[in-house]
Amino acid sequence: MLEQIKTIQDLKKLSLKQLPQLCSEIRQKLISDVSRSGGHLASNLGVVELTVALHYVFDEKDKIVWDVGHQSYVHKILTSRGENFSSLRQKDGISGFPDTEEDESDSFNTGHAGTAISAALGLAKARDALKQDYNVIAVVGDGSMTCGMTYEALNNIKDSKLLIVLNDNNMSIGQNVGSATLNMSKLRVGKYDRNKERLKKFLLKVPLVGKPTYKLLRWCKRRAKLGFVRNSYFDNFDLKYIGIIDGNEIKDLVYYFTKIKNNVTKPTLMQIVTKKGKGYAPAEQDPESYHSVNRAGASTDEPESASVVGDTLVRLIDEGENIAAVCAAMAKATGLAAVQRKHPDCFFDVGIAEEHAVTFAAGLAKGGVHPFVAIYSSFLQRSYDQILHDVALQNLSVTFLIDRAGFVGEDGKTHQGLFDLSYLSQIPNMTVWTPATCRQLSDMIERSKENQGPVAIRYSKNLLHDARGFDGRWNKLNSVAEPKAYILAVGARLAESARAAAKEFDNVAAVEATTVKPLDTDLLDEIAARNAAVVTLEENVLSGGFGQRVLCYFAEKSAVKIQSMGVDDVFVKHATAEEQMSDCGMDIDGIVNAVRKILSNC
């Protein structure tokens, strides 16, 4: 049946009785294709019925905004991309997130949580201003109810014709935390859901009157939910509330969406309950591990960086250090789950609220506790104001553990960690360290406790296992008596590439730059004294990055020839990290050619 669905119009030709079979086929396709390509599996398995029902009921002109966007795979399958879905997250293939350049049915680019209601509200206001006619639907996960931006949008939503579908599975990436989700949990069906199923089975077994009685009760329940249920949690935002609906029951969803479609005259929220990982036993049992799966053949081991972070912080707490570990809903991925298990009193998960995490950490530091804030590079962008205003301005001793820095591969444009060196290095009082080895990361974590002021430790998820530690200086990776050129590389991957490229020459030194702010001015002065050429390498945008800092230093000192290699003024699309580096000219061949060219001009 799924093979016949080329467009939304093909979907609408199906009968209601055929939709459960279609949902089953979509689940099998998700399990098969995502297991090969990698990507967000459990979240998409949970929204199969929801996505099918939305497209079955609403029109193609209507706009659906997916919060975060990682649960939009079924939407992509149904909107002309089903035949190419096996190319998901591969170079020149389908993006793992909504992308307006990819298909016009993707109404808004989303990759971070908490943005959907704001974007949908903007679309709705634009529609009204231009006197157009279409529905706007924001699909919001309950994890996004921990985001401050969600509440800013709700505070501004009055009198807008907008439908919010709250997809409630009691999960974000891991278990949700905080008062908001505790209040949400009180709204869920709980025993009611189980009792409803028992009653349904009982009535359907009663001869003659059982089935009609069940249908009557279901009709009464639906009418009550559509018109009479009130919910104080959402009433405060002047939202019409409909719920709670079984989000994995396709016929119920179609019924409610059909009734709602042409009757949204004010902001309306429909709360559905889904099961993350629905239909795939391993994902149902462990939705956090199956939230995102690696592509076939990729390592499933815990990233070295996460292990180092967890082990080091646990050891420091064991030794009596007065420290705290703070994360924004990603304890396992950042390595802080080890602290959570062994020292729960020193662990704080604030939910998907990076801005709050940083200012909360500033408060901890002001109060005398040294906080370690572990957040992915892409997500730390959301808290730039808090880093600048609440931490750096007061010169507070906060350590930022910035994971997944540099090229992130298949997650693509919304998740690239290619901006942190630029936006952090410009902040007064900020120190920026860039480990390449596991030992360096551990040394930096320990050393940062003694630093006066904020420290940003920036690294990719997989580090080198070399024995090189950190003493505040850059490391020479090869021995050259009279270097004519130096390759200065930031991070693990480029340090290895620099060393490999240097082997092609007998007069080129490869250097591992373990600090970006401050620079190792002693080594830079040595280079200037030799009047050697320099090639800098960084997984970061060139504007304001490491290369430009080195260039500015030399501009004041000497006429050293320098070429900076990094990312141009573009957003880097999804591919493997190796493909992304190659496209940016930073594979080994590209580095060798750059060195050869600069030597020829000396």
Tell me the sheet residues that pair with 141: 167
C-alpha angle with apex 559: 554 to 563, nearest 5 degrees? 70
Catalytic residue among 304, 354, 355, 539: 354
Distance of CA 113 to the CA centre of its chain: 8
In whole angstroms, how far apart are CA 369 and each of 321, 359, 381, 473? 9, 13, 24, 28
Read off φ and ψ for residue 107, nearest 5 degrees.
Answer: -75, -25
Rounded-to-integer distance, Cα 409 and Cα 519, Å: 28
- What does the DSSP assignment read for 259-282? HHHT---S-EEEEEE--TTTT-HH
Whether the Cβ atoms of residue 11 and residue 60 lie closer than 8 Å to each other: no
Query: Given CA atoms 395, 396, 397, 399 in this order, what sign does their dihedral have?
Result: negative
Residue 572: helix, strand or coil by DSSP?
coil
CB atoms within 10 A of CB 318: 10
Q: Which residues of 422-445 are buried (b: 16+ CB within 10 A; e: fewer)?
A: bbbbebeebbbbbbbbbbbbbbbb
Catalytic residue among 89, 276, 332, 549: 276
Whether the Cβ atoms of residue 85 and residue 110 lie closer than 8 Å to each other: no
Chain position carrying tokens 């900076």: 564
Rounded-to-integer distance, Cα 535 and Cα 549, Å: 13
Query: Given CA atoms 418, 422, 423, 425 in this order, what sign does their dihedral have?
Result: positive
Quick one: CA torsion of 275, 278, 281, 286, rounded to 10 degrees? Answer: -40
Rounded-to-integer distance, Cα 185 and Cα 269, Å: 16
Tell me the sheet residues that pair with 491: none
The region that residue 258 occupies, defined by phi over 0 for left and psi between -120 and 50 for alpha, beta otherwise, is alpha
Identify whether 201 is a catalytic site residue.
Answer: no
CB atoms within 10 A of CB 231: 16
Catalytic residue among 382, 404, 447, 461: 382
Identify whether 382 is a catalytic site residue.
Answer: yes
Identify whether 276 is a catalytic site residue.
Answer: yes
In whole angstroms, how far apart are CA 438 and each of 311, 446, 492? 11, 13, 10
Residues classed as catalytic: 276, 354, 382
